[in-house]
Structure 1
Amino acid sequence: MSEEKEKSQNGEANGLSHDEKPKNGEIETNEAQEEKIRYPKSVFFIISNEFCERFSFYGMRTILSLYLKDILLYSESDSTIIYHVFTTMAYFFPLLGAIVSDSWLGKFRTILYVSMIYACGNILLALSSAKPIGIPQAPFSLVALLLIAIGTGGIKPCVSSFGGDQFVIPQQEQQLVAFFSVFYFAINAGSLISTFLTPVLREDVHCFGDENCYPLAFAIPGILMIVSIVIFFLGMPLYKIRKPEGNVVVQVVKCIWYAARKNRKSKEKRDHWMDHAEEKYGRTLVEDIKITLKVLVVFIPLPIFWSLYDQQGSRWTFQATRMDGRLGATTILPDQMQVINPILILLFIPLFTYGVYPFLAKFNFLTTPLRRMVWGGFFAAAAYAVSAGVAAVLEASDPVLPSDGLCQLRIYNPYNCNGTFAIDNVLPATNIGSFGYDNLEVDCYGTKNYTYSFNHCLLPSTNATGTVELTEATGYVFYPSMDGLIQLVDDINKPEDGLPKIRTLVGNPSKNYTITFWDEDEVGLQFTSGNSSLFSIDPGTYAVGNSEYELNLGGVYTAVAQLTDDSKAIKEIHFYEITQSNNVHILWQVPQYLIITGAEILFSITGLEFSYSQAPPSMKSVLTSAFLLTSAVGNIIIIIIESIKIFDRMSYDFLLYVGLMVADMIIFTFIASRYKYPEKKDTNESVDGDNVKPEKRLSHQSAKE
């Protein structure tokens, strides 16, 4: 072969016509071209940005439910509703983010601009949680959550695909697969670290005179979000930035709307109602939409799964506040239990991929995506059955609260002598021993006269009378003092933050006595006698005077101080446990986290792969977006159920979700049995195949995003 002819053939092989004469050294083999395409350095900026953003989101969301309940003082039910409204918006805004990105701004500018909104939300949340700032906490916190939802939702559909844009396909397919593996690791690493760290910042740091520090716990994720913007911006010179080409979701909606309107008005019969749009939108788009609609029918039962899965950060966290988190010298905080999920995800993905699925395939079990999703749903139901059992055990130790028409009286005697206490038409004369305590439930209404009588005490008078105001369904503390009868409204509920609470009572409250509780590190916590409010205190063993007392998570305690004979000092402290401390260890939540994580692998990740593999090439982003939207609908279901307040007991609520999930999976099984998988045209497009195209990997890696 002549040299000139060889060059001509090489030129054609490399896409050059006979008329285009290549320059010296320009003709290379395919292998040489692949070697020359370097791994894009820009992706390291994208991966670092994703780590910081996921750290910010999960760090903030981990402590959000407790912030709503303990600081903004919403009820547990209202806190759950607000938490899931926020989650709903976070999964709804990706649709808008995709439209804005593909139609107007492009991925780079969408990520950059929306991230700025995101960071503003983080900053506002940190500022509003700090009382000294002086801004209204509740409204500004809710505005901040809206900004964060817009931010995280707006960039969600853009970051992973923007990273994929940096690679040359097909030459860099293997590098792209590796990128998404690292990208997914960054997501879970950010989630794992922040889920562990922010509860520690919330609980162990004290600021602005509070026993916790939510401002710092929110500020650190905010700082990480600002860092993520800086990192993303610094990579701009290296990015391959594509111009927006129009959003297929918008086209699909227009086409369906047009077909539906024409089908309603037209008398012409078609094989399928979508065929009415063929003249305007073309046969290809119409046929793709037909296939997409078949898959969307399968998606109808999916939201119920998310209504169970997404309560890990709300109801399961509230459940953990009622449990004992002590583990040796450390204490597991209620919101730290959420860290189990990202840890198990990292362990379960390779376990299921290389162990569980191949093993079950030998028995022809769980060989299709829909079968895996059905079992994932039943696993979720099993997780909630376990959590209902744990809740039932916890409820057995809950305090008995005063019911309608009644009130509870807790009467203390802070003196070294016997006495009697009576309330006209409510409480007959009741004997109370020295330093005694009595808990009574009585009819409760209106203003009543009381009488107390003591013998040989330090009181100015051994007999006293007066009036008390009683309101039904209320608990009261009564104790006589040198200043007369002290009446306090009592609260014996399990502490909402899980920490033990204590109240100190002294027979001479007008004198400023100081009671010091020495912890195991010999750090003194001081309480003054003039303040008999309930205080939160860290769990542990405390030395008071010559005695030691154990204050455990979830307990409510009263310390009654005995004065010396001359009433100049405190002689002894008498302790009473009013509300039983948490006696179920927090690690009993581990089984339900194990099962729900297995459900996530079977249902969530498989569902993303199913939506991608079953979609026509032009509809893959549409079905992936639709699958993510089922999560938003699932959170709306939680909001509805919590708003109705069907049950007062958490265990019954969890059993309700078990029933809903089982019924839902029965329906899903029926729908799945009627679904026909399309014929495989490419081995790489197989539903269960191990050879997954890079873009399929992209949808898989976005599961945690």
Structure 2
Amino acid sequence: MAASGVSESRLPLLDDTVDGSVDYKGRAVSRFSSGGWRSASFIIGVEVAERFAYYGIESNLINYLTGSLGQSTAAAAANVNAWAGMCSLLPLLGAFVADSFLGRYRTIVVASAIYILGLGLLTLSAILPSISSSGCENTNKIVSCSHQFQVILFFFSLYLVGIGQSGHKPCVQAFGADQFDGQNPEECKAKSSFFNWWYFSLCAGTLVALWMLNYIQDNLSWALGFGIPCITMTIGLVIFLLGTKTYRFVIKGDERNPFLRIGRVFILAIKNWRTSSSAIAIEEEAHGTLPDKSSCQFRFLNKALLAPDGSKEYGKLCSVNEVEEAKAVLRLGPIWATSLVYAIVFAQPPTFFTKQGVTMDRSITPGFSIPAATLQSFVSLAIISFLPIYDRIIVPIARSFTRKPAGITILQRIGAGLFISAISMLIAALVEIKRLRTAQECGLVDMPNVTIPMSVWWLVPQYALAGVSNVFTMVGLQEFFYDQVPNDLRSVGLSLYLSIFGVGSFLSSFLISAIEKATGGDGRDSWFANNLNRGHLDYFYLLLAGLSFAALAVYMYFAKSYIYNKGNRT
């Protein structure tokens, strides 16, 4: 939205100006009249609306697929994971569009409009069954065609929502963090807290969705359950637009496309792979790159300092800054890869955890039972309860010992969450073992539609631990992938964080399909049998716990040797 230059008129006082930022008209901005928590509040508003809409769909989607659309448990879980994976992977494309062409502000506006359109069509697809049943009761062919059209429209709308999120998700948080000046001591501290309270606000929106929308969807109407998120998202976009005049827009340091700039480093390094080490050493000494420890890592990229023909003609070689940017991006790879198992575990609450809850006693009063999907609210409740404790108590205590602004390093925070996540899967396995034993003792193994006399509150610990692990790992990953990339690529950094959960969801879907095929067939009940009383989710959870501990060990190895970028928080 902002221009690349700054007009000479209406400039604030020099000591009042925020370096590297302009307002929506391209003018220099005052520190006290722009940015900060005031601007961040508008941005948080649209993201709360988006999370309300997203979880209003995703949290109960498996019940809609197995109920209204008649899919099997395994097929529905795979479809939920595939859609969630796409929603987390497409932000890479949205980040590319934002950082290379539209900018974060415009991308958020366009993506929100697409999001609203998808939600509107999703609501329409849920209305169709009532239309078809009223006019086609005696014509099976027409009813069948209408149902097929409903399914097509539903999945088209669902993936249109994913496309809208692809531009929305990587930009909103980065744009919010842009409202704080990292070079100012006070704003730097506020920026660190921003990631905590950002996640707190999102979980509050998610909690409302889980309590309100799941009840409406299960007891009143799916059309209403999809329509309310559409209205909420529209209101969120209006709130975001109202804050336009207060926003800070970061000026790009290099007008060249950041993707092409970094990609060129890898291309030149590959072209120069035969270059002698002595030639590279001479060039490194000339640029002064060797004394820095980070410059010695991924040293093969230093070959991009020479042109392919060995000359030093300007325009044919990369600068030291460009090479260091490429190294910073490459350095993220091991952390990204070792977080994938955490993402697989993250995919379980809206799928198999929810299906477990359906089979258990969910009654609160004689005439009222909570929807199974609402149990996911305990993840949000744990986050909302624990985040203030972490931000206001744990961090200050840790800071007094470590002298670090954030108390502990970002990677230590992520690692703690990975450990808690592994423990949550062990507990989930133990609870499932008890559920299966209870079904067997009560003679309900072959009665999947009969409620097992075991309170659904047994599932609360695994949900709560999932929430606590999110406080450490989710928020830590957000801050890590924002801080450890070049300024021009911060939308890409956050999209890389999101892609962890996209790939993790696809891996979860693949794992479910592979296990379903390996353990089912020939009259056998698979681990994910439609009758969960004959399935073995306990085996699946134990498998995930084992994978989690193995991934944690590998993560600790790479985290220990990780070199933080210069000037970024640790």
**TM-score bin (small chain):** 0.7 to 0.9
How many residue pairs end up in the alignment? Answer: 479
Structure 2 residue identity aligned to 1:671: F
**Distance (whole Å) between structure 1 residues aligned to residue 176 and residue 261 of structure 2:** 25
In the TM superposition, what is the alpha-carbon distance from 1:356 to its structure 2 partner? 4.0
Partner of 2:376: 338
Residue 416 (structure 2) pairs with residue 375 (structure 1): yes
Contact 2:114 2:163 in 1 (8 A): yes
Contact 1:386 1:592 in 2 (8 A): yes
Residue 264 (structure 2) pairs with residue 251 (structure 1): no
Residue 145 (structure 2) pairs with residue 104 (structure 1): no
Partner of 2:435: 394
Selected match of 1:145 from 142, 158, 172: 158
In the TM superposition, what is the alpha-carbon distance from 1:331 to its structure 2 partner? 2.1
Contact 2:99 2:492 in 1 (8 A): no
Partner of 2:448: 494
Residue 385 (structure 2) pairs with residue 347 (structure 1): yes
**Distance (whole Å) between structure 2 residues aligned to residue 147 and residue 667 of structure 1:** 37
In the TM superposition, what is the alpha-carbon distance from 1:602 to its structure 2 partner? 2.6
Q: How far does the alpha carbon of each residue in 1:598-623 deviate from its partner, in whole angstroms, 9 at most, with x for none?
A: 22223222233344455565665554
**Distance (whole Å) between structure 2 residues aligned to residue 34 and residue 226 of structure 1:** 30
Selected match of 1:214 from 222, 233, 246: 222
Contact 1:106 1:243 in 2 (8 A): no
Contact 2:215 2:370 in 1 (8 A): no
Structure 2 residue identity aligned to 1:584: M
Residue 33 (structure 2) pairs with residue 37 (structure 1): yes
Selected match of 2:215 from 200, 204, 207: 200
**Distance (whole Å) between structure 2 residues aligned to residue 602 and residue 181 of structure 1:** 10
Q: Which runs of 5+ in 1 are unaligned?
A: 1-19, 206-212, 401-438, 440-490, 496-554, 556-580, 688-705
**Distance (whole Å) between structure 2 residues aligned to residue 336 and residue 667 of structure 1:** 35
Selected match of 1:309 from 340, 343, 346: 346
Selected match of 2:553 from 646, 652, 666: 666
* Bigger RCO of structures 1 and 2 (CA < 8 A, at least 6 apart): 2
Higher percent of residues as helix = 2
Residue 266 (structure 2) pairs with residue 225 (structure 1): no
Task: Report the TM-score, using the length of structure 1 for normalisation.
Answer: 0.61
Question: Which of 1 and 2 has greater Rg?
Answer: 1
In the TM superposition, what is the alpha-carbon distance from 1:286 to its structure 2 partner? 0.9
Contact 1:608 1:624 in 2 (8 A): yes
**Distance (whole Å) between structure 1 residues aligned to residue 564 and residue 251 of structure 2:** 33
Rate the CA distance shift 1:317–1:27 in 2: closer, same or farther, 3 A. closer
Contact 1:117 1:147 in 2 (8 A): yes
Rate the CA distance shift 1:83–1:98 in 2: closer, same or farther, 3 A. same
Q: Which runs of 5+ in 2 are unaligned?
A: 1-7, 18-28, 133-145, 282-298, 307-316, 520-526, 528-535
List aligned pairs for 1:573-652, cutoff 5 A: 581-615=451-485, 621-644=491-514, 645=516, 646-647=518-519, 648=527, 649-652=536-539
Structure 2 residue identity aligned to 1:84: N
List aligned pairs for 1:301-700, cutoff 5 A: 301-328=338-365, 330-356=368-394, 367-398=408-439, 493-495=447-449, 555=450, 581-615=451-485, 621-644=491-514, 645=516, 646-647=518-519, 648=527, 649-673=536-560, 675-678=561-564, 685-687=568-570
SS in 2 for 1:281: coil
Contact 1:341 1:593 in 2 (8 A): yes
Selected match of 1:158 from 171, 174, 179: 171
Structure 2 residue identity aligned to 1:217: G
Rate the CA distance shift 1:319–1:258 in 2: closer, same or farther, 3 A. farther
Q: How far does the alpha carbon of each residue in 1:160-203 deviate from its partner, in whole angstroms, 9 at most, with x for none?
A: 33345567886793796487776545423221211111111012
Q: Which moved more, 1:651-660 or 1:186-195?
A: 186-195
Contact 1:379 1:598 in 2 (8 A): yes
In the TM superposition, what is the alpha-carbon distance from 1:362 to its structure 2 partner? 8.4
**Distance (whole Å) between structure 2 residues aligned to residue 375 and residue 166 of structure 1:** 29
Q: How far does the alpha carbon of each residue in 1:551-577 deviate from its partner, in whole angstroms, 9 at most, with x for none?
A: xxxx2xxxxxxxxxxxxxxxxxxxxxx
**Distance (whole Å) between structure 2 residues aligned to residue 321 and residue 145 of structure 1:** 24
Q: Percent identity?
A: 27
**Distance (whole Å) between structure 2 residues aligned to residue 664 and residue 219 of structure 1:** 40
Partner of 1:54: 51
Selected match of 1:173 from 187, 191, 210: 187
Rate the CA distance shift 1:588–1:109 in 2: closer, same or farther, 3 A. same
Selected match of 2:68 from 61, 67, 71: 71
Task: Report the TM-score, using the length of structure 2 for normalisation.
Answer: 0.74
**Distance (whole Å) between structure 2 residues aligned to residue 640 and residue 27 of structure 1:** 58
Q: Which moved more, 1:177-186 or 1:336-345?
A: 177-186
In the TM superposition, what is the alpha-carbon distance from 1:678 to its structure 2 partner? 4.6
Rate the CA distance shift 1:250–1:653 in 2: closer, same or farther, 3 A. farther
Partner of 2:270: 260
**Distance (whole Å) between structure 1 residues aligned to residue 272 and residue 13 of structure 2:** 56
Partner of 2:313: none
**Distance (whole Å) between structure 2 residues aligned to residue 387 and residue 132 of structure 1:** 39
Structure 1 residue identity aligned to 2:52: F
**Distance (whole Å) between structure 1 residues aligned to residue 34 and residue 507 of structure 2:** 48
Contact 2:422 2:548 in 1 (8 A): yes
Partner of 2:123: 126
Rate the CA distance shift 1:180–1:658 in 2: closer, same or farther, 3 A. closer
Rate the CA distance shift 1:102–1:678 in 2: closer, same or farther, 3 A. closer
**Distance (whole Å) between structure 2 residues aligned to residue 107 and residue 58 of structure 1:** 23
Contact 1:72 1:137 in 2 (8 A): no
Q: How far does the alpha carbon of each residue in 1:583-637 deviate from its partner, in whole angstroms, 9 at most, with x for none?
A: 1111111111222222222322223334445556566555443333222121121
Partner of 1:84: 81
Contact 1:615 1:623 in 2 (8 A): yes
Partner of 2:314: none
